[in-house]
Structure 1
Amino acid sequence: MKRGVFETKFCLHEKNEQKTLTSKWARWTASFRRQPISDVRDYFGEKVALYYVWLGLYTTLLIPAATLGIIVFLYGMAFFETSPLISEQCMWCFARRGVKTQCSRFISTSSDLGPFASLQVSHLFDNEGTVAFAMFMAVWATVFLELWRRQRAVHVSGWNVSEWDEDEEELILGMVNDPRYSPKKYEQSCLRSTVVLILLMLIIGLAQALVIFRVAATGLLSEGSSQFMKDNANTFAVIMGAVLHYLTIIIMTKVNRRVALLLCKIEKTRSFVTTERSFTVKMFTFQFFTLFSSLFYVAFFLGRINGYPGKYSRISGKWRLEECHPTGCLTDLFIQMAIVMVLKQIINNIFEFIKDCSRMEKGPCDNCKLIDWLSNYNLKDVNVFSVFNEFIEMIIQFSFTTIFVAAFPLAPLLALFNNVIEIRLDAIKMVSLERRLIANKTNNIGMWDRVLEVIGVLAVIANGLVIGITSDFIPRLVYRYHYGPCATGEATDVHCMTGYINHSLSTAYMNFRLLCVSRYKDYRNDVNYELTSQFWLVLGARFAFVILFEHIVLIFKFIAAWLLPDCPLQVKNSRLEDKFSRLREELVSFKSVCSTDVWMSDPV
Structure 2
Amino acid sequence: MCPLCDKRCKVWLLSDTCLYAKVSILFDNEGTVMFAMFMAVWTTLFLEFWKRHRASYTCEWKVFDWCEEEEELILEIVNNAECAPKEHKHSYLRSTLVLILVTLILLLIIGLAHALVVFRVVATVMLAEGSWEFLSDHSNTAAVILGAVLHYFTITFMTWVNRIVSQKLCDIEENQSIAATERSFTVKMFTFQFFTLFSSLFYVAFFLGRINGHPGGYVRIAGKWRLEECHPSGCLTDLFIQMAIIMVLKQTISNVFEFGGPWFNRWLKRRRTKKLQRKCPHCYKKEDRQTNQREELCENCKLSDWLRNYRLNDVNSFSLFNEFLEMVLQFSFTTIFVAAFPLAPLLALINNIIEIRLDAIKMVSLERRMVPKKTNDIGVWTDVLEAIGVLAVIANGLVIGISSDFIPRLVYLYNYGPCANGTVTDMDCMAGYINNSLSTVYMNDQRIYKEFSPDQMVTPSGQNVSYCSYKDYRSNEDYSLTPQFWLILSMRFAFVILFEHVVVICKFITAWFVPSVPLDVKNQRLFDKLNRLKEELRSSEV
Q: Deviations over 1:168-214 (max 9, x none)?
A: 11112123323243313232422222222221221122111111101
Of the candidates 5, 18, 33, which is equivalent to residue 131 of structure 1? Answer: 33
Q: Structure 2 matches for 1:230-379, cutoff 5 A? A: 230-361=136-267, 362=270, 364=274, 365=277, 366-367=279-280, 368-379=301-312
Residue 530 of structure 1 corresponds to 480
Residue 326 of structure 1 deviates from its aligned partner by: 4.3
Contact 1:217 1:237 in 2 (8 A): yes
Deviating more after overlay: 220-229 vs 527-536: 220-229
Taking every aligned residue pair, what percent have the same amino acid on both sides? 65
Q: 2:433 aligns to what?
A: 500
**Aligned match of 1:162:** 64
Aligned equivalent of 2:525, options 562, 570, 575: 575
Q: How far apart in 1 are the matches of 2:403 and 2:525?
A: 49
Query: Structure 1: 5+ residue runs without aligned partners?
Result: 1-89, 93-100, 108-114, 594-604
Please list, as runs of the form range in 1=range in 2, the aligned pairs for 1:24-43 lying within 5 A after superposition: none
Alpha-carbon distance in 2 for matches of 1:411, 1:343: 13
TM-fit CA distance, 1:250: 0.7
Q: SS at 2:496's partner residue?
A: helix
C-alpha separation in 1, matches of 2:476 and 2:377:
61
* Alpha-carbon RMSD: 1.8
- 2:455 counterpart residue number: none
1:451 to 364, 375, 384: 384
Change (3 A) 1:248 1:457: same
Question: Pick from 349, 359, 374: which aligns with 1:416?
Answer: 349
Q: Secondary structure of 1:383's partner?
A: coil
1:371 Cα shift? Answer: 1.4
CA contact (8 A) 1:130 1:406 kept: yes
Give the match for residue 84 of structure 2: 181
Amino acid at match of 2:86: P
Q: Does 1:392 align with 2:316?
A: no
2:403 equivalent to 1:470: yes
Matches of 1:511 and 1:197, distance apart in 2: 50
Instruction: Tell me which amino acid in the other structure corresponds to 2:207.
Output: F
SS of 2:515 mapped into structure 1: coil
**Does the 8 Å contact 1:327/1:472 carry over to 2?**
no
Report how far residue 347 of structure 1 moved. Answer: 2.3
* Contact in 2 for aligned 1:171/1:183 (Cα 8 Å): no
How many Å apart are 1:400 and its aligned residue?
0.2
- Give 1:103 deviation, angstroms: 5.2
CA distance in 1, matches of 2:443, 2:90: 63
Alpha-carbon displacement from aligned partner over 1:83-102 (angstroms, at most 9, x marks no partner)? xxxxxxx9x9xxxxxxxx95
| Letter of the structure 2 residue corresponding to residue 173 of structure 1 | L
Q: Which residue pairs with 1:41 in the alignment?
A: none
CA distance in 1, matches of 2:137, 2:177: 59
Q: Distance in 2 between matches of 1:380 and 1:496?
A: 65
Give, in whole Å, the separation in 2 of the partners of 1:357 and 1:370.
21
Report the CA distance between 1:117 and its aligned residue: 3.2
1:565, CA displacement in angstroms? 1.4
- Cα deviation 1:469-519 (Å, max 9, x = unaligned): 000110011111111112122222211111111110111113558762111
Scaled by the length of structure 1, the TM-score of the pair is 0.78
> Shift of residue 378 of structure 1?
0.9
CA distance in 2, matches of 1:206, 1:370: 52
Q: Aligned AA for 1:410?
A: L
Instruction: State the one-letter code of the partner of 2:13.
Output: S
Displacement of 1:288 after TM fit? 0.2
Counterpart of 2:367, as a letter, is E
Counterparts in 2 of 1:103 and 1:254: CA distance versus 1, 3 Å: closer
Map of 1:6 onto structure 2? none
Give the letter for the 2:47 counterpart: L
Of 50, 55, 80, which aligns to 1:153? 55
TM-score of the aligned structures, taking structure 2 as reference length: 0.87
- In structure 2, stretches of 5+ residues that fail to align are 3-9, 281-300, 450-463
Q: Give per-residue Cα distances to partners, 1:245-277, cap 9 Å, x unaligned.
A: 111111111111001111111111111111100
- For 1:527 and 1:360, the matched residues in 2 are separated by 71
